[in-house]
Amino acid sequence: SQTIHQWPATLVQPVGSPLSLECTVEGTSNPNLYWYRQAAGRGLQLLFYSVGIGQISSEVPQNLSASRPQDRQFILSSKKLLLSDSGFYLCAWSVLNQPQHFGDGTRLSIL
């Protein structure tokens, strides 16, 4: 069966520090991969999606970047975090027109 792992679960970082969140998928090949951010009590904002290795589409201009170095690995990064980067980050995978499957999320707090 397919599984998705996202880590870390919680992260507290100072302003100006770098960021790396990782997401891996098992049990499927060539999945579409997604990064979302969710503010407390709000909906999901799509940040990046990828349909293949090295292929990244950015939805919102911001302080973040994404990479897909392997078929089932998706990384969200920042060189210098801002206070506004705080939030709940969700990774997801899917195949076209099928439901998305989400990781457990990362709670990111910027101090």
Partner 1 sequence: AQTVTQSQPEMSVQEAETVTLSCTYDTSESDYYLFWYKQPPSRQMILVIRQEAYKQQNATENRFSVNFQKAAKSFSLKISDSQLGDAAMYFCSFGAGTYKYIFGTGTRLKVLA
Residues that bind partner 1 (CB under 8 A): 32, 34, 38, 41-44, 46, 49, 51, 57, 59, 88, 90, 92, 94, 96-102, 104-105
Q: Which of 34, 20, 21 is nearest to 101 (CA)?
A: 34
Least distance to partner 1 from the beta carbon of 1, Å?
A: 14
Q: CA–CA separation, 23 vs 74, rounded Å?
A: 5
- CB of residue 91 vs partner 1: minimum separation in angstroms? 10
Partnered with residue 32 across adjacent β-strands are 94
Q: Which residue lies nearer to partner 1 by CB, 7 or 88?
A: 88
The residue among 65 and 107 lying less far from partner 1, judged by its C-beta, is 107
Question: Residue 48 Cβ, how far from partner 1 at the closest point, in Å?
Answer: 11
Instruction: Identify the DSSP state of 69.
Output: E
Cα 21 to chain centroid, rounded: 7
